[in-house]
Structures are given as structure tokens and as C-alpha cells.
């Protein structure tokens, strides 16, 4: 196995901490630090230092960090920070939990996170910066546009699509072939058919 690559996680909240555990289990990256606008610099989060606010993104290449993962649940904020990371010349790390399943024919965009027990089905597609949270399902031929977000145990049936920054909250479901427009939020447990 090759040497793990340095990585900084942007966001030290609940999702950022879950991403840290994913990275530790996966072993492809070595988390150097968090960047976070709420946690003071020098704070320790699960054994990882906070270097400072997200404004430090542009300094990471000079510190020998080629990759980041933006682990912030708010879709528009994640989109903005991914754009800042790209402008700084950073790679957006795509992360798949070792206990998730991604079909060999599925496509994962840059900076996506496929969390524990999530399923990405045959020829499904995730756009840049998408989150598929714990136990969520993106079934065959379903598509999540850039910065879309599936909460825990959310389900997209075959051929369904969600637009940019759309959010299926925990336990929400889309029926077969249903399209959810950009920036739409489906509340926990609700369905669209």
C-alpha cells in the first residue's frame, strides 16, 4: 500500500467528524488538520488540530497539503468552499466509506462523500460535492446533481434525480423517475412520487 496522502478536512462539526472516521478507516489519506470557522485555532478535535478558519484554504498548498474534503452539511456553503479550494489549486478528495457500496458502473464526482452503509446503484451518478449519508440509497440510474445531499436513510428510487443543492433529509424518499428541482428540501420522512 502506498503512503497516505496529506488531507485537510474543512468543517469540524458532526459531518466533519464522521468524515474523519471514514478517512481513518479507509487509509488512503492522512488528516493533517481541520479548518473551521467556529472552532478556535489550536483546538483538538478527535486527536486532530484545528489550524484555523476556512480563509486559510489558499495557504494549504504552501504547507504541503494537496487535497481537502469539504465536510459541511449546508449545501451552498459547501459549494462556495469547494470553489475556493479549487481556486487555490487543491484537489477535492472523493471519499467512500469502507462499509458503503458503490457500483462499479456508478460515477462519483470530485469531493463527494459516500458514508457508512450507503448504496450507490448501477449507473447512478453523484455530482461534485454531493453527500450520501449513513444508510442512504441512490438506486440504479438515479442522479444527484452538484452539492446535492441525502440525509441518513434517505432513498432515491431508480431513475430519480435531485437538482443542485437539493436536500432529502433523513428518511425522505423519491419514487421512480421523480425529479426534485434545485435548492428543494424534502423534510424528514416525507416522500415524493
pLDDT at site 1: 57
> Per-residue confidence at 2, pLDDT binned at 50, 70, 90?
confident
pLDDT above 60: residue 146 = yes
pLDDT at site 75: 98
Architecture of domain 94-183: 3 Solenoid (2.160)
Range 174-182 average pLDDT:
98
Range 133-160 average pLDDT:
99
Distance CA 54, CA 9 (A): 10
Three-state DSSP at 162 gives strand
pLDDT digits (tens, 9 = 90+) for 61-90: 999 999 999 999 999 999 999 999 999 999
- Number of residues that make up the chain: 193
Q: How many CB atoms lie within 10 A of CB 163?
A: 18
**CB neighbour list of residue 87: distance below 8 Å, 6 or more residues apart:** 58
**φ, ψ at 148 (rounded to 5°):** -70, 165
pLDDT at site 6: 97
The string of DSSP letters for 23-87 reads: HHHH-SEEEEEEE-SSSPTT-EETTEEEEE-GGGGGGTGGGT--EEEE--SSHHHHHHHHHHHHH
Q: Which fold has domain 5-93?
A: Rossmann fold (3.40.50)
Evaluate the CA torsion angle 129, 71, 152, 5 in order and state its sign: positive
Domain ranges of the chain: 5-93, 94-183
Amino acid at each position: 500500500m502506498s503512503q497516505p496522502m496529506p488531507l485537510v478536512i474543512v468543517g469540524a462539526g458532526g459531518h466533519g467528524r464522521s468524515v474523519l472516521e471514514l478517512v481513518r478507516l479507509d487509509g488512503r489519506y492522512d488528516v493533517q488538520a481541520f479548518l473551521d470557522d467556529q472552532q478556535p485555532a489550536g483546538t483538538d478535535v478527535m486527536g486532530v488540530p484545528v489550524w484555523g478558519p476556512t480563509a486559510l484554504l489558499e495557504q494549504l498548498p504552501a504547507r504541503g497539503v494537496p487535497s481537502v474534503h469539504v465536510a459541511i452539511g449546508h449545501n451552498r456553503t459547501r459549494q462556495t468552499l469547494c470553489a475556493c479550494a479549487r481556486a487555490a489549486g487543491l484537489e477535492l478528495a472523493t471519499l467512500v466509506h469502507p462499509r458503503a457500496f458503490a457500483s462499479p458502473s456508478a460515477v462519483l464526482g470530485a469531493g463527494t462523500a459516500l458514508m457508512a452503509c450507503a448504496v450507490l446503484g448501477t449507473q447512478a451518478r453523484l455530482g461534485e460535492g454531493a453527500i450520501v449519508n449513513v444508510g442512504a440509497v441512490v438506486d440504479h440510474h438515479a442522479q444527484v446533481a452538484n452539492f446535492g445531499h441525502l440525509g441518513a436513510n434517505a432513498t432515491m428510487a431508480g431513475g430519480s434525480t435531485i437538482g443542485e443543492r437539493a436536500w432529502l433529509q433523513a428518511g425522505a424518499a423519491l419514487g421512480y423517475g421523480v425529479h426534485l428541482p434545485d435548492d428543494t428540501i424534502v423534510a424528514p420522512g416525507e416522500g415524493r412520487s
